[in-house]
Chain A
Amino acid sequence: DAGITQSPRHKVTETGTPVTLRCHQTENHRYMYWYRQDPGHGLRLIHYSYGVKDTDKGEVSDGYSVSRSKTEDFLLTLESATSSQTSVYFCAISESEQVLTQFFGPGTRLTVL
């Protein structure tokens, strides 16, 4: 299994508070991704990174920001959480543009009250 961890695994927070989710990999893969999973929608891409300090938006990026200061860590921040951001968040990694398969972390269940 790919070495991907996510923290925290579960979080309950209140509307308006900032939240940061962390994804850590030990595979030294170049690409990292954040997805959210909601019933009826499958997984949707929030942001991704193609290298240290190189990030770009995905399909559902509004209300989220990311940072990648080291190869192994990719942070997802909700600046002011809303109830619509209640979801399960998955981090994924892939080795390169040529090696396309993405491997996923265990997920973080976030509840915004």
Chain B
Amino acid sequence: AQKVTQAQTEISVVEKEDVTLDCVYETRDTTYYLFWYKQPPSGELVFLIRRNSFDEQNEISGRYSWNFQKSTSSFNFTITASQVVDSAVYFCALRGISGSARQLTFGSGTQLTVLP
């Protein structure tokens, strides 16, 4: 079975600080896909990024960056110069390619609070 662990249940930072959200995954598949979603206080789930297991290039999108390391089975998410609007629950998710692993497995989420 595949598994996603987000060990940080809650993180609180002051605006303009950088913050990294950790995601560690387990899967038997050699091809898999990793995702990050954001859930702001309004409750909807917003897709942020998808990363394929065969593409280990890190990605940057504005203040957001993602560090994918297959060697440590981690897909960490960094917000640079955090803002109050970044306050949300962030979910990491994993999808394999075989059997039940083809379904999306979510971590339990990290509640990020950015204080003004």
Considering only residues 76-116 of chain B, those with a C-beta below 8 Å from chain A are 91, 93, 95, 103-104, 106-109
B-side interface residues, number (CB < 8 Å): 18
Contact A106 B44 (CB under 8 A): yes
Considering only residues 42-75 of chain A, those with a C-beta below 8 Å from chain B are 42-45, 48, 58-59
Cβ-closest chain A residue relative to B9 = A40
Contact B104 A102 (CB under 8 A): yes
Contact B44 A104 (CB under 8 A): yes
Contact B91 A43 (CB under 8 A): yes
Q: Is A78 an interface residue (CB 8 A)?
A: no
Q: Is A100 an interface residue (CB 8 A)?
A: yes
CB within 8 Å of B: which residues of A? 33, 40-45, 48, 58-59, 88, 90, 92, 100-104, 106-107
A-B contact pairs, 7 of them (CB 8 A): A40-B108, A42-B91, A100-B33, A102-B104, A106-B43, A106-B44, A107-B44
